[in-house]
Structure 1
Amino acid sequence: MKYRNVFRLVLFFLFLTTSFVAQNKSNELKAIWENTKNADSIRFNALADYYKLNNQAQPDSTLLVLEYYYQLAKEKNNSKELYNVANDRGGIYRLKEELDLSMHYYEEAKKLAIKLNDPILKAINLGNIGNVYANKKMYKEALQNFTNSLTIYKEIKDKIGESRMLSGIGNVYLYIQNYDLALAYYQKALTASKNSDVPPRSIAVIYINIGWTNYELKKYTEAIPHYEKALKILEVTNDKFF
């Protein structure tokens, strides 16, 4: 009991320390975006950094900041930043499982991506819409969006995006229990990630999913080494969640 209490105390202080650091950083970013003397790009970057820092831990607070972000982008008539805001709002509402709102904002982002005629923005948007469809269990629509996004990434030779969409397709097949196709697409995602700048965390997630698929197939001896590969990466990146 004594050691359990000590462990809880350590976790409590770690939480306080992490929260304190995040709050300080958030305050610094707020001072930057509220300073009208700063260049627009600096203010937008601070708002984007706040989103990255807080969107999962404090989604509701982040939505309030995104309203400021939206008003600033609208004032400056900056379509790219309006796209970013719509995309970020869609992401938060998807995590909150408010899928209709999420789709609403991704559709807004879609219009802006078409207006900007930017293939990367179009590909990102298609992938995000695919994720919402997957969450809604509308797997045919999810596959169509992931496939369309994958086509764009291949055309522009973006290996990071290509690997991400191949993983997305693999996820859909995992959800519908077509394990052979899931494994095939996860292997394609791994191949696409070789000799590229795909983040180590993303590669670890692919290994986790391969492990999970083999586990569902009751191929436990094949599942273990993939989980171990993922764990080795995540220990290096210090990814506590995974």
Structure 2
Amino acid sequence: MKKGLLILLMVFLALKSDAFQNLDSLENALKTAEGKNRVDVLNKLYIVYNRLNPTKALEQSILALELANEISYPNGRAAALNNIGVIYKNQGVYDEALEYYIESLRISTEINDKKAQASTLNNIGTVYSLKKVFDKALIYFIESYDLFKSIGANGSLIDAINNIGNAYMEMGREDLALDYYSEAMALSSKKDVQIDGTSNSLNNVGNVYFYRGDYANALIYYQRALAMEESSGNVLGEAYSKSNLGATYIETKDYKKAQINLDSALTVASDMG
């Protein structure tokens, strides 16, 4: 029987968060943005707030969706729908998340936005993984992988590879999962690949060692993942890593360290809803 730890499923946001340097620049841009540009800024604000304040993130996405509908901007509408789906997925409202994802996929397919299609296909796969329908999740993850690969989106491809590995991990195919995680880490080490999700591969490799009962190696990978999340300021990612560290410390009977990490993860999860 599997012990309790978190498999981190990567979801894809509609736009890259590095389009603007920080929250202040986005807020300033919003003051003068109009039309399609305003929709895009609202969707980018969602990305920032999704890590800090999910309630505020949902507000930005709803505003983006309403304006995109008003001005008939399908790209912005698909993005906002996808982002709302991510929020509902994070809240555990899986059926509602699927409704938003499916409508987003319909629009992105209609306008032939392959990157948006791939992102939403992946997100649908995450919902099926969370619903424990892993064979169906794999179908969506692999289709997402193929699309990302066809357009050369290596950063997103890495996260898609991690998710395929996660699905195999949940199905008890640890060796196959490790092959995918290793592929993800190898790709992320390339100089021309700019991503902030290398920690996901580290967490996932840690999961393999955890399930095998090799807690010393699991701790090494979880600690490396936590260090990367802390350096990037990804508070939610820190919570995932600390939860996994806590679960591992329980197995090694280091209850003091387990309590510290789990309390910290719980605080973040509660604050972020």
What's the TM-score once normalised by structure 1's chain length?
Answer: 0.79
Greater helix fraction, Structure 1 or Structure 2: 1
CA distance in 2, matches of 1:57, 1:220: 31
Say whether residues 1:236 and 2:227 are aligned partners: no
Q: In structure 1, give the amino acid aligned to 2:195.
A: P
Residue 171 of structure 2 is aligned to residue 176 of structure 1:
yes
Q: Identity of aligned pairs, percent?
A: 25
Whichever residue aligns with residue 84 of structure 1, its letter is A
- Whether 1:197 and 2:193 are equivalent positions in the alignment is yes
d(CA) in 2 for partners of 1:235, 1:58: 18
Summarize the alignment of residues 46-85 of structure 1 with structure 2, pairs less than 5 Å apart.
46-85=41-80
Q: State whether structure 2 residue 215 is matched by structure 1 residue 215.
A: no
Larger mean CA deviation between 131-140 and 210-219 belongs to 210-219
CA contact (8 A) 1:204 1:234 kept: yes
The aligned counterpart of 2:145 is: 150
CA RMSD of the aligned region, Å? 2.4
Contact 2:40 2:76 (8 Å CA) reproduced: no
Distance 1:235 1:64 in 2: 27
Residues 122 and 140 of structure 2 are in contact (CA less than 8 Å); yes or no, is this contact kept in structure 1?
yes
Q: Which structure is higher in RCO with an 8 Å CA cutoff and minimum separation 6?
A: 2
Tell me which amino acid in the other structure corresponds to 2:165. G
Check the 8 A contact 2:121/2:144 in 1, yes or no. Answer: yes
Q: Give, as a single letter, the amino acid of the residue that structure 2 aligns with 1:179.
A: E
Kindly indicate whether the alpha-carbon contact (under 8 Å) linking 1:32 and 1:42 is maintained by their aligned counterparts in 2: no
From the CA coordinates, give the structure whose radius of gyration is larger.
1
Secondary structure of the residue that 2:98 maps to in structure 1? helix
| 1:184/1:126 CA distance change after superposition, 3 Å | same
Q: Equivalent of 1:89, from 84, 89, 103?
A: 84
TM-score (norm 2): 0.70
The alpha-carbon deviation at position 151 of structure 1 amounts to 1.0
Tell me the alpha carbon deviations over residues 115-158 of structure 1, each in whole angstroms, 9 at most, x when there is no partner: 11121111111101101111111101100100111111222222
Checking the alignment, whether the CA contact within 8 Å between 2:43 and 2:60 is kept in structure 1 is no
The aligned amino acid for 2:94 is: L
- Extract unaligned runs of 5+ from structure 2: 1-22, 242-273
Distance 1:96 1:228, change over 3 A: closer
CA distance in 2, matches of 1:137, 1:79: 32
Given candidates 133, 139, 160, the residue that maps to 1:138 is 133
Task: Say if 1:109 and 1:125, in contact at 8 Å, map to a contact too.
Answer: yes
How many residues in Structure 1 have an aligned counterpart in Structure 2? 214
